[in-house]
Structure 1
């Protein structure tokens, strides 16, 4: 009976403050607690009664209805604002989302710091690689001046010695080509002229021209024979590169062959010279006679000794070239390392660009999440109006208003229908203006009060 008395008293309430106070009391008192359905029914009846009363006061005017609905919406807002527990429950999903977003921001900030540290590390790596490149460039320029500084077993200044030796070798080679072309032509093809002096018979300035004029066999022989001696000199150098007994034996044999070749040329020439001056009593020319002739030894030493000099100069140049090769090899090695480091810089710069792009994306994500957190905070700070509930109670108010029109206004049926239609239009306009729709089951309307 006591519970029934409370309900009857609730039906007679005319203002929102009394209703909210009683509703709170009923919800807080376990011994007098009403079910949610009973509270909704009681509240609906209250709004219906208020609508009926306001309709009576305003004779069902649509214009008055529009103003009254605004007051009803304000009343509903105040009621919802006073229901703290209900507001907390409605806002709970937004609070949970806000907490999740705050956790997400913390994770994003950690990721942002890590990405910034990664970019700093990449910059440091790029600077370190650039420093290495500058060091390598300095070493490339400094290597010829002081190879020992870089633990390279090469002689400083080898380049100048190399070029001086190369110039000397070039002129000695010209001498050997001239000498062997002339002596080989004189020894094997030329007929000596008794009226010419000995030197002109031995060293014919037109030997090359005359030999080719006489035919390709003579021309090819006198042209190619200097290369035989050059080849022998090259072989002697190559054998000298290997320091062992057999190499020395081979070098000795090559020198002996070269000496023998020069001796043959000298013998042939000296034989022709001897024939020009011999008499009937002169003995036949042989080695014993050749060994006593100064021209014989002069031809040998003019060829063989200069050939030995050529070989020594060639060997010296090759050694100098080897010294230059050591330095050049180290320079080439450093140039290759520079290219490798430059490729490394390119790779690091690409990684940096990717990291910067990821950092910008993280910053954008943080900004979006912070914006959502601020939006959620505005929702939490505002009064949340359950749309479906407001439509429910506003429609009850509207029914009360229309009930008065139908029951208490004594006007024609047509006038009644027009008046009700205008009131319904005012009601729909109001619901649209406050964002309340019957099909928005879970939608809410936010108003910052």
Structure 2
């Protein structure tokens, strides 16, 4: 390069860039020379590197400081490029708008879920109050059935148990009486030593009948149940009150009375034969009707049988009343269980809602954090690091060009200086992130 060319080069580099008017003149000259703005910028960095290297004799330690200044200068230049910054930040603006829309949607969703949670808790409280009411009604129902529109007699449970307790010994009496009387009437042989009571009520009638044979045993064992069955029919015919059932009921009483009369007649005839003399007439109904033990046997069975039938009828009616209350209690208890299951189901729904609310709140917090990050990016300066690497390389090329052209040292020493400068350059690129995969860096503070 001759002296004239070098002078022209330094004359070009000495053009000030701080004055706007001179900057306009420079741009006009560039346009006249047919040079693009990017080529002009590259040339400017190259010339600055050459000039700064000439001032420091190509010292690589000074190069590190100069590259920091170059980076600061590059940042200021990028900051002043309003349109470029706007284009670089456009994606962040769009993301911020999307995030704000997302926040609105998340907020609406959160409010809906919180309202749903409130409704679910109110529903549980309502069901729990209903359960407490049902439990109180279950306890109060036997005492006040009419209060709950149950057509049952108050205190039916107590009456039922009293009747059932009375029915048991009466049943045992009838079984004992008819076993003894039927055995005495049909199978027993009387002797002169037997009293009336011993003749009618034989303590060993059951065992004696079975010892006499299976037919005798089965007869005296089963005959009491005939009378119990007749007593059961009294209850059945009494449930439907009409004249046919009343006729049937009257016939039952007649049949039972006749059967008891037959037993009494047979026993009395045997007792009469024991005490009969040659002058005594034959035993017949006329004689039987005049004997007290005849009527005593009849009424000892027949009256008790009627009492048993009436008590049984009363117990069954009370049981029916008791069943009405019990059925109503069971219905209410089933309602309690249904409500408990419903509460458990709602609680599981609430767990899911709470989890969704927590997730939504976390999303809102993260989204708001991202919006703040985006705002900081928008407020900051976006540095295109790949562009910086391009211009920094121009600067270092200018620096090394001076070393190669103007430093009068041995070739080896010159190469060592160049290698040190390249290392310093790479260190600077690593420091500012220009060697990373990121296209841009964001500086949150204005420069």
Q: Same fold (TM over 0.5)?
A: yes
Which residue in 2 is equivalent to 1:3?
Answer: none
Q: Which moved more, 1:338-347 or 1:272-281?
A: 272-281
Matched-pair contact (CA < 8 Å) for 1:391–1:438: no
Aligned twin of 2:376: 378
Structure 1 distance, partners of 2:373, 2:209, is 107
Q: Does the 8 Å CA contact 2:42/2:391 hold for their aligned counterparts? A: yes
Following superposition, the deviation at residue 447 of structure 1 comes to: 5.0
TM-aligned CA deviation for residue 62 of structure 1: 0.7
CA 1:24–1:167 in 2, change beyond 3 Å: closer, same or farther? Answer: farther
Q: Is the 8 A contact 1:13 1:46 kept in 2?
A: no
In the TM superposition, what is the alpha-carbon distance from 1:288 to its structure 2 partner?
A: 4.1
Distance in 2 (CA, whole Å) between partners of 1:39 and 1:67 is: 27
* 1:385 counterpart SS class: strand
Alpha-carbon shift at residue 350 of structure 1 (Å): 0.3
* SS of residue in 2 equivalent to 1:384: strand
Q: Secondary structure at the match of 1:195?
A: coil
2:4 aligns with none
CA contact (8 A) 1:48 1:398 kept: yes
Q: Given the alignment of the two structures, is residue 413 of structure 1 paired with residue 429 of structure 2, yes or no?
A: no
Aligned 8 A contact 2:388 2:434 in 1: yes
**Any idea what the Cα deviations from partners look like across 1:347-375, whole Å, max 9, x if unmatched?**
00000000001111101111111111111
Instruction: Give 1:328 shift.
Output: 1.2
Match in the other structure for 2:106: 108
Superposed CA offset, 1:250-303 (max 9, x none): 333333332232122122212212221233444443444434433322222211
Q: 1:310 aligns with which of 308, 322, 330?
A: 308
The CA deviation string for residues 64-100 of structure 1, in whole angstroms up to 9 with x for no partner, is 1111000000111111112222212211110111111
Deviates most, 83-92 or 245-254 = 245-254
Other-structure match for 1:41: 39
Post-superposition shift, 1:15?
5.8
Query: What's the counterpart of residue 362 of structure 2?
Result: 364
Task: Name the counterpart of 1:444.
Answer: 441
Aligned to 2:206: 208
C-alpha change, 1:446 and 1:66, in structure 2 (3 Å) is same
CA 1:12–1:417: 2 relative to 1, 3 Å: closer
Is contact 2:380-2:444 (8 Å) kept? yes
Choose from 385, 392, 395 the match for 1:394: 392
Q: Is the 8 A contact 1:51 1:396 kept in 2?
A: yes
| TM-score, length-scaled by structure 2 | 0.90
In terms of mean alpha carbon deviation, does 78-87 or 339-348 score higher?
A: 78-87
* Deviation of the 1:437 alpha carbon: 2.5
Q: How is 1:204-353 mapped onto 2 (pairs within 5 angstroms)?
A: 204-353=202-351
User: Structure 2 regions of 5+ residues with no counterpart?
Assistant: 1-8
Using a 3 Å threshold, how does the CA distance of structure 1 residues 322 and 191 change in structure 2: closer, same or farther?
Answer: same
Matched, 1:188 2:192: no
How far apart, CA to CA, are the structure 1 residues paired with 2:315 and 2:22?
115
| Cα offset, 1:411, TM superposition | 1.7
Query: How far did 1:215 drift?
Result: 4.1
Mapped to 1, the partners of 2:141 and 2:269 lie a distance apart of: 58
Structure 1 residues 447, 370: closer, same or farther in 2, change over 3 A?
closer
Between the aligned partners of 1:341 and 1:291, the Cα distance in structure 2 is 70
After TM superposition, the structure 1 stretch with the greater mean CA deviation from structure 2, 103-112 or 258-267, is 258-267
What residue is the counterpart of 2:401 in the other structure?
403
Moved more, 221-230 or 55-64: 221-230
Which has the higher mean CA deviation after the structures are superposed, 208-217 or 338-347?
208-217
Q: Does 1:74 align with 2:36?
A: no
Alpha-carbon distance in structure 2 between the residues aligned to 1:87 and 1:410: 44
TM-score by length of 1: 0.90
Cα distance, 1:188 vs structure 2: 1.2
Q: Distance in 1 between matches of 2:26 and 2:103?
A: 41
- Where structure 1 has 5 or more consecutive residues not aligned to the other structure, the ranges are 1-7
Deviation of the 1:377 alpha carbon = 1.2
Query: Is the alpha carbon distance of 1:358 and 1:14 closer, same or farther for their aligned partners in structure 2, counting shifts above 3 Å?
Result: farther
Q: Is the 8 A contact 1:16 1:75 kept in 2?
A: no
